[in-house]
Amino acid sequence: MSASSQSIDILVDDQHIAGTLVTPPDQVPGVLFVHGWGGSQQRDLARARGIAALGCVCLTFDLRGHERNIEAQERVSREHNLADILAAYDLLAAHEAVDPACIAVIGTSYGGYLATLLSMRRPVRWLALRVPALYWDEQWQLPKRQLDVARLAVYRRTPLRAEDNLALRACSDFHGDVLLVESEHDDFVPHTTLMSYRNAFDKAHSLTHRIMAGADHGLSDDRHQQAYTRILIDWVSEMVAGARVGDYPHHLVRYS
């Protein structure tokens, strides 16, 4: 989606000077937001508006089992919600203003986990995961509410390799740019899980890992919500700017 340039001639006082006219691409990046379990698109809307101001088309939506479809929560499985994300992605990619080769997916917790699985089925150039959850591969079609919460807590405290988990294998196959955002005081997604994700992204073009000091899983403090918004918008701005000029740092890895 690099800008196009055209050499032009400028007439000044009966003389000619050379110029180059640089115009933006006909299509712009698309950004898909995926909220976490028990959440909604509402918190994503402000961030979507901020990123849209950078020159992107953004799509937020509510997974089945949430908001207007809350009555289905007892029946919704991971398979159902991945199908939701695929449908939302396809709608965004088909938008006339979107460059289908330049799509970012931003997922939180459960949405981050599903976003990695989406990357195995659709082209994703940028992947931003805040406190991405992790689930075992089995019981895929079981309603999510029926998963053993105590077992999940143990599972997430266990270091896992890419070959141990389908989502981590998706991360290992991902060649785009990645943002991982961790909460220092997370009672649901511990540091071990973030390290499993980080280690799995061994082929990523770039990896940025940020740890939000003092933050909990849901960013219940408004200061942390604002801090995450700044992290996200700054990162997306860098990625989009790099795509427009075709200038990527090769295998840049930043940890902070």
pLDDT digits (tens, 9 = 90+) for 55-103: 999 999 999 988 787 888 899 999 999 999 999 999 999 999 999 999 9
Q: To the nearest whole percent, how much of the chain has pLDDT over 90?
A: 74
pLDDT digits (tens, 9 = 90+) for 155-180: 999 999 999 999 999 999 999 999 99
Count of CA atoms in the C-beta half-sphere (13 A) of 100:
9
Q: To the nearest whole percent, how much of the chain has pLDDT over 70?
A: 93
- Between the CA of residue 123 and those of 119, 126, 159, what are the distances in Å? 6, 9, 28
Question: 134: pLDDT confidence band, cut at 50, 70 and 90?
Answer: very high
Q: Indicate the range of 12-21, 43-52, 124-133 predicted with least confidence.
A: 12-21
Residue 173 phi/psi, 5-degree rounding, is -90, -5
Tokens of 211: 């740890």
**Of 201, 203, 110, whose CA–CA distance to 161 is shortest?**
201
User: Over the chain, what is the mean pLDDT?
Assistant: 91
Distance CA 62, CA 69 (A): 8
Q: Which residue has the higher pLDDT, 122 or 248?
A: 122
pLDDT at 145: 95
State which amino acid sits at residue 165. N
Spell out the residues 6+ positions from residue 149 whose beta carbon is closer than 8 angstroms to its own: none
pLDDT at 137: 98
Domains of the chain: residue spans and CATH: 26-255 (3.40.50.1820)
Q: Decide if 163 contacts 193 (C-beta within 8 A).
A: no
pLDDT at 70: 83
Global model pTM greater than 0.85? yes
DSSP 8-state class, residue 161: -
pLDDT at 252: 42
State which amino acid sits at residue 131. V
Q: Which residue has the higher pLDDT, 215 or 43?
A: 215
